[in-house]
Every structure is written in structure tokens, then in C-alpha cells.
């Protein structure tokens, strides 16, 4: 049985080191979706499937799991945001396992729809997985892509949304509530984004009824570090040495 809890904890510890050393941001977002990543990275067949990190500022977690799966080296992982490294703080198509750039909100899903439609046309096996933020659901290209996916019955497309309730400048619902519209023509469900067995079970309903699948995963931004949890300061804030040490102590338990 896969030990998702250990995978997620080890990913959080490594991400903490990478972000602190590089003095970059988005640590709250990274901590919050570590449990989703732990399950997705095991679910994905990295040879047949495609993974699109539309929420590209969570790139450090993607690099970590690519390293776990032997797709990049430890040297490449440790080069995160260091001078001259292509492994920057946003997902860029620098290797085949990163097919679409992420970070400019609303661009990942359109690209993923194209990948899924191409697989359908070519008769290729495999699923296209997308990880988005809830803030991205405010973007017009997201809804256009959702309509196209439904129209073409892309049952090889699975979208997971990290619903932490925050975006850069405040609470998502206060800026523009993205849940006022339904995803018609999609298999849609909500899940606890920190409950590994629930995420695993939910992913099993993909490829049903000739529909694309939408999984809305409720998460806590900053999960695992008490002073970061639901604290939007850690969307952009760089970590001090004291914060780094406190966070590491908490994650070690």
C-alpha cells in the first residue's frame, strides 16, 4: 500500500529547503497542495499520460516528484531557482514531462484540452491531468476550454482544482466567486484535498460517461506549518531563517 502521508511529508521538507535556499515565494501554495501531488504523482503513468501544471508557481513540487520518479536528477532538482538553472519558479516546457507552460493564469487548461483532443484524434492511450488553482476559475479561457472539452467528450481529461480559498491579493470569493457557474457536461465532485484515500477513490471515476472529469479539492493553504495555515502572507513572502527553522521543526513532528 502506498504511503502517501510519508511521500507528502518528505516533499514538504524538501520544498521548504529549496524555497528557503532560493529565497523565492509561494511556500503557502506549495504546502497546501502537497497531499494532492503525492497522490497524483503515483496515479500518473509518466510514459503514457500527460500532466499540466496550470498553477505553475507550484513548480517546485512538480520538480520534486519528477525527481522521485527518476525523470530528472537530484542535481537538477537542487538547482531550483539557482543562477543559470532552467528549473525556475514557474513551470516551463524545458523537458518532455512538462508539456505546457504554467503560471500565467488560464493558459494551462486550454493547452491540456488540446493535448487531450490530440490523443483522441490519434487514438492514443493515456489521460491528461491538470492541476489548477481556484483563482484560475475566474479566467475566461478556462470556461471556453471547459465548453470545448464537454463538446468533444474528452473523457481522457481530468482537472483537479486546488481550492484553498485564497489568491494573490485576498480571498477568492471576495475578488470574484468562481463557483457561481456549473461545469455542464463534466463529471464533477468535491473532495477533501488532504484525505489521501478520498483523493484516490475520486480519481477512479474518471473516463466515465464520455465526459471530462473535474475534481474540486478543498485544501488549507500552508498545510502542515501552523503559522502558515490560512495565512495569505505566505503567498509571496520570502522565509526568514527563523521561519524556516520553525517550519522544519513542525514538519519533522
Structural domains of the chain ordered from first start: 4-252 (3.40.50.970)
- How far is residue 49 from each of residues 101, 119, 126, 223, measured CA to CA in Å? 17, 10, 5, 28
- How far is residue 123 from each of residues 4, 99, 152, 159, measured CA to CA in Å? 32, 19, 14, 21
pLDDT of residue 170: 86
Helix or strand run (H / E) with residue 144: helix 140-151
Residue 181 has pLDDT above 90, yes or no: no
Q: Are 191 and 215 in contact (CB under 8 A)?
A: yes
pTM of the model: 0.96
Nearest residue to 223 (alpha-carbon basis) of 20, 37, 3, 24: 37
Residue in the block written with cell 465532485 = 189
Residue in the block written with cell 481556484 = 134
Residue in the block written with cell 457557474 = 181
Residue 208 has pLDDT above 70, yes or no: no
Residue 164 has pLDDT above 70, yes or no: yes
Cα(7)–Cα(92) distance, integer angstroms:
24
* Cα 76–chain centre separation: 20
Higher pLDDT, residue 106 or 239: 239
pLDDT tens column, 133-160: 999 999 999 999 999 999 999 999 999 9
Q: How confident is residue 169, by pLDDT bands cut at 50, 70 and 90?
A: confident
Q: How confident is residue 234, by pLDDT bands cut at 50, 70 and 90?
A: very high
Average pLDDT, the chain: 95
Length of the chain: 253
Cα(162)–Cα(82) distance, integer angstroms:
27
Nearest residue to 145 (alpha-carbon basis) of 165, 172, 116, 167: 116
pLDDT of residue 22: 97
| Cell numbers describing residue 246 | 520553525
Q: How confident is residue 105, by pLDDT bands cut at 50, 70 and 90?
A: confident
Residue 167: strand pairing partners: 170
Amino acid at each position: 500500500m502506498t504511503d502517501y502521508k510519508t511521500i507528502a511529508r518528505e516533499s514538504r521538507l524538501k520544498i521548504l529547503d529549496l524555497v528557503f535556499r532560493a529565497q523565492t515565494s509561494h511556500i503557502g501554495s506549495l504546502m497546501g497542495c502537497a497531499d494532492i501531488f503525492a497522490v497524483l504523482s503515483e496515479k500518473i503513468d509518466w510514459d503514457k499520460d500527460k500532466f499540466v501544471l496550470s498553477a505553475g508557481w507550484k513548480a517546485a513540487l512538480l520538480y520534486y516528484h519528477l525527481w522521485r520518479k527518476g525523470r530528472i536528477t537530484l542535481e537538477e532538482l537542487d538547482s531550483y531557482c539557482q543562477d543559470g538553472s532552467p528549473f525556475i519558479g514557474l513551470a516551463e516546457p524545458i523537458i518532455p514531462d512538462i508539456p505546457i507552460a504554467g503560471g500565467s493564469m488560464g493558459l494551462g487548461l486550454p493547452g491540456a484540452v488540446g493535448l487531450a483532443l490530440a490523443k483522441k484524434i490519434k487514438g492514443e492511450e493515456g489521460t491528461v491531468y491538470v492541476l489548477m488553482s481556484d483563482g484560475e476559475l475566474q479566467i475566461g479561457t478556462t470556461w471556453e476550454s471547459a465548453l470545448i472539452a464537454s463538446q468533444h467528450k474528452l473523457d481522457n481529461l481530468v482537472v483537479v482544482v486546488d481550492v484553498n480559498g485564497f489568491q494573490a491579493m485576498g480571498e477568492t470569493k471576495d475578488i470574484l466567486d468562481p463557483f457561481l457557474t456549473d461545469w455542464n457536461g463534466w463529471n464533477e465532485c468535491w473532495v477533501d484535498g488532504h484525505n489521501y484515500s478520498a483523493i484516490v477513490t475520486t480519481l477512479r471515476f474518471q473516463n466515465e460517461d464520455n465526459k471530462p472529469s473535474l475534481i474540486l479539492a478543498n485544501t488549507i493553504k500552508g498545510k502542515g506549518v501552523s503559522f502558515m495555515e490560512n495565512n495569505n502572507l505566505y503567498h509571496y513572502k520570502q522565509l526568514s531563517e527563523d521561519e524556516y527553522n520553525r517550519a522544519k521543526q513542525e514538519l519533522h513532528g
